[in-house]
Amino acid sequence: MTGNKDFDLFKINEDHEALREAVRAVAEDKIAPHAAEVDEKSEFPQAALKALVASDFHAPHIAEEYDGVGADALATCIVIEEVARVCASSSLIPAVNKLGTMPVILAASDELKSTYLPPVAKGDAMFSYGLSEREAGSDTASMRCRAKADGDFYVLNGQKSWITNAGISQYYTVLAVTDPDGDRGRNISAFVVEKSDEGFSFGEKERKLGIKGSPTRELHFEGTRIPADRMIGAPGEGLKIALRTLDHTRVTIGAQAVGIAQGALDYALGYVKERKQFGKAIAEFQGLQFMIADMAMKLEAARQMVYVAAAKSERGDDDLPFFGAAAKCFASDVAMEVTTDAVQLLGGAGYVRDHPVERMMRDAKITQIYEGTNQIQRMVMARQVLKGI
């Protein structure tokens, strides 16, 4: 990992700080009041979507030429971080819009970009990502979903699992095997599938530990005919495109993890300053101060790592695979630790739903799992280190 020799790995400018203030205001005013109910009822955060679309924070990464605001990767991370600070489920609106559209941005034809990016940028549609299957999670190359050529169409059969915002999104990037006899990993292609396509349906909503406001469902394909010109990139390039996508979007999961952890720390700080035991605020006890110091230190280290990775994503640096994996892995581990400690700082109060830290702890867990488990991230990092990148 060579880094940038002039050490200008990233720079927070006035626009970024203004953006943070604007997103935080929207999040606290329009999203936070609904966060507990969204979790309790496992309902999609419609109020958050409305607020994010109204402020152009729902898909800030889309370029201006496609009717977007053209936010850079760091700005997009700031949006996700600030929304996750109050509601992790809501932060998946901008995060998954980026995940779903990134293959299109990286590899699609101009026609596909012009067709599918503007509706997302305008807030008329959302875009999800279909890579994993029941028996093809970390081992994505073993997927069984098939797309068979049929004249000017491909016919999809199979399923995808663990798809975020499934049923809500209008568009889906779907990976499928197009050459069953081809070399493993080089026989997969990527397609855009529309919610209205015949033969495309959804499984039941998963009953989850956290991020309950973001529906997670299976995608089912039964003879789903897709126009051949909806292929993203060339035949057989699908897995390569999918992995390039994850190099960029893992950074956003790091940002989500940082936001969740910051929200938990903020709430815990307010509590320990007010809660009194033995005649004084518990914030005055050194044992708790050491916990708080460690939480803040690790959280800030995670934030800096995410921002560096975001800058590398924006530039397309060669060492992005390492930094993207490292940012996601480290930040999510920190989020799990910080939210757990936040529950501990509140004691019994932290364990009940009257306070948001138990929700934040549950929400933090998934950041260690999706977009590649942290065990897979360590494999990615080790491979990069051994290659000398």
The residue among 201, 198, 202 whose CA lies nearest residue 225 is: 198
Predicted pLDDT at 58? 98
Predicted pLDDT at 3? 47
Does the residue 62 lie in any domain? yes
Q: Is 371 left (phi over 0), alpha (psi -120 to 50) or beta?
A: left
- Cβ(164)–Cβ(96) below 8 Å: yes
Count of residues for the chain? 389
The secondary element (H helix, E strand) that includes residue 184 is none
Whether 328 has a pLDDT exceeding 70, the answer reads: yes
Whether 10 has a pLDDT exceeding 90, the answer reads: no
pLDDT confidence bin for 11, thresholds 50/70/90: confident
Which positions ≥6 away from 14 have C-beta within 8 Å?
Answer: none
- Cβ(305)–Cβ(326) below 8 Å: yes
Does the residue 6 lie in any domain? no
Asked if 259 and 383 sit in the same domain, the reply is yes
Predicted pLDDT at 9? 62
Whether 1 has a pLDDT exceeding 90, the answer reads: no
Residues 170-218 pLDDT 10s: 999 999 999 999 999 999 999 999 999 999 999 999 999 999 999 999 9
**For residues 52 and 290, what is the distance between their CA atoms, to the nearest angstrom?**
37
Q: Which amino acid, 299?
A: L
For residue 377, what are the domain limits? 239-387
**How many domains is the chain built from?**
3
pLDDT confidence bin for 46, thresholds 50/70/90: very high
Backbone angles phi and psi of 146, in degrees to 5: -120, 145
Question: What's the CATH code of the domain at 164?
Answer: 2.40.110.10
**For residues 193 and 156, what is the distance between their CA atoms, to the nearest angstrom?**
10
CA distances from 205 to 67, 89, 137 (A): 32, 15, 18
- Cβ(194)–Cβ(171) below 8 Å: yes
pLDDT confidence bin for 269, thresholds 50/70/90: very high
Does the residue 224 lie in any domain? yes
Residues 355-375 pLDDT 10s: 999 999 999 999 999 999 999
**For residues 318 and 353, what is the distance between their CA atoms, to the nearest angstrom?**
44
**% of the chain exceeding 70 in pLDDT:** 97
**For residues 182 and 155, what is the distance between their CA atoms, to the nearest angstrom?**
18
Question: What does the pLDDT average to over 57-73?
Answer: 98
- Cβ(272)–Cβ(292) below 8 Å: yes
Residues 207-237 pLDDT 10s: 999 999 999 999 999 999 999 999 999 999 9
- Cβ(338)–Cβ(100) below 8 Å: no
Give strand pairing partners of 173.
129, 192
Asked if 227 and 320 sit in the same domain, the reply is no
Predicted pLDDT at 5? 43
Is 371 catalytic? The answer is yes
Question: What does the pLDDT average to over 328-342?
Answer: 98
Predicted pLDDT at 6? 42
pTM: 0.96
Question: What's the CATH code of the domain at 56?
Answer: 1.10.540.10
Give strand pairing partners of 177.
146, 188
Asked if 295 and 230 sit in the same domain, the reply is no
Whether 132 has a pLDDT exceeding 70, the answer reads: yes
